[in-house]
């Protein structure tokens, strides 16, 4: 079994300590962070996702796999962040109200930090007013919302509306993403930018901040 397959297997078993050790080993062997992330960690999480859908594994299994995933990505963080030029800008990020999924949001945060952006992470289950208050307090150029559930993605529209009510809609760019979110959904709710993955979210955020 290859090292990446082993990482994927340990992740599926929720063995965070082993995942950490093997991710470190892969780095030491010169493997690049993106490959470890995509072909080791995300590959394992995708198997868990499929099994979860088919009722072959249950919430506790997914939870410990998610912890193992986070343990692995923490080690990759400095490498994923080790890209290029500093952009001056602030982003407020969070997973929307009612939604507890944070792995994708954490990846987006890490990639944005890698672009030199200051990211204020509000965590999960974030109500619209919390996004707005944080954006005002930190004078952020961007509010970035993540959602993983079809039942919570509608909260993004509430964030857009709350920004209008607070009088900051023209001062802040609202970015949306997460598995069920699409470009047409983004347009329908009046948000500004949809990106399908963490890397493109970071690229777009850096572009917006440089232009402002
Ligand atoms: Co949940 N869950 N979950 N879950 N879970 C999904 C999302 C699901 C698709 C599983 C399934 O049925 N196949 C399904 C949603 C169905 C739907 O609505 N369409 C689901 C469900 C139903 C649920 C519960 C309701 C289950 C239950 O209790 N019966 C429950 C809801 C709890 C809640 O939030 N209120 C629940 C709970 C959980 C756990 C807590 C057990 C755990 C989360 C742990 C954690 O995050 N700390 C969990 C997990 C891990 C998953 C799966 C297996 C993996 C999600 C993940 O982290 N993927 C997931 C199935 C799947 O996706 N295959 C599933 C890896 C991550 C890197 O991808 O987050 O998509 P993702 O992020 C991507 C892009 O989407 C993008 O960038 C990332 C990659 O570069 N992206 C952005 C994300 N945010 C972005 C923001 C941007 C731009 C891009 O701009 C701002």
Q: What is the pLDDT of residue 193?
A: 98
Q: Which regions in the chain score pLDDT beneath 50?
A: 83-85
Could you give the CA distance from residue 57 to residue 47 in angstroms, rounded to a whole number? 10
Owning domain of residue 56 = 3-82
pLDDT recorded at residue 156: 98
| Mutation to probe ligand 1, out of 55, 179, 199 (largest number of atoms < 8 A from CB) | 179
Of 51, 82, 113, which closes a domain?
Answer: 82
pLDDT of residue 107: 82
Q: Which atom of ligand 1 is nearest to the CA of 100?
A: 34
How would you class 206 by CB atoms within 10 Å of its CB: exposed for 0-12, middle for 13-18, buried for 19 or more? buried
Question: Contact at 8 Å (CB) between 177 and 93?
Answer: no
Task: For ligand 1, pick from 48, 80, 127, 148 the residue to mutate: most ligand atoms within 8 Å of CB.
Answer: 148
Residue after which a domain boundary falls, among 82, 113, 138: 82
pLDDT at 84: 47
Given this model, what pLDDT does residue 114 score? 61
Provide the pLDDT for residue 60: 87
The total number of structural domains in the chain stands at: 2
136 and 41 in one domain?
Answer: no
CATH number, residue 26? 1.10.1240.10
């Amino acid at each position: 079994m290859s090292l990446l397959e082993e990482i994927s297997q340990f992740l599926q078993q929720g063995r965070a300590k082993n995942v950490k050790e093997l991710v470190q080993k892969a780095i030491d062997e010169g493997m690049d962070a993106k490959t470890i992330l995509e072909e080791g960690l995300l590959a394992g999480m995708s198997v868990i996702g499929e099994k979860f859908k088919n009722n072959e594994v249950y919430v506790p299994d997914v939870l410990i796999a998610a912890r193992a995933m986070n343990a692995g990505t923490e080690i990759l963080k400095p490498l994923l962040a080790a890209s290029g030029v500093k952009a001056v800008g602030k982003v407020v990020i969070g997973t929307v109200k009612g939604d507890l999924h944070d792995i994708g949001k954490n990846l987006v945060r890490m990639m944005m930090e890698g672009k030199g952006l200051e990211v204020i992470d509000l965590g999960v289950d974030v109500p619209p007013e919390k996004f707005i208050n944080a954006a005002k307090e930190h004078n952020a150029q961007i509010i970035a919302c993540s959602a993983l559930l079809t039942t919570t993605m509608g909260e993004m529209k509430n964030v857009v509306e709350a920004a209008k009510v607070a009088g900051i809609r023209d001062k802040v760019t609202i970015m949306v993403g997460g598995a069920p979110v699409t470009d047409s959904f983004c347009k329908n709710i009046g948000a500004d930018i949809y990106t399908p993955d963490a890397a493109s979210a970071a690229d777009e955020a850096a572009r917006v901040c440089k232009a402002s």
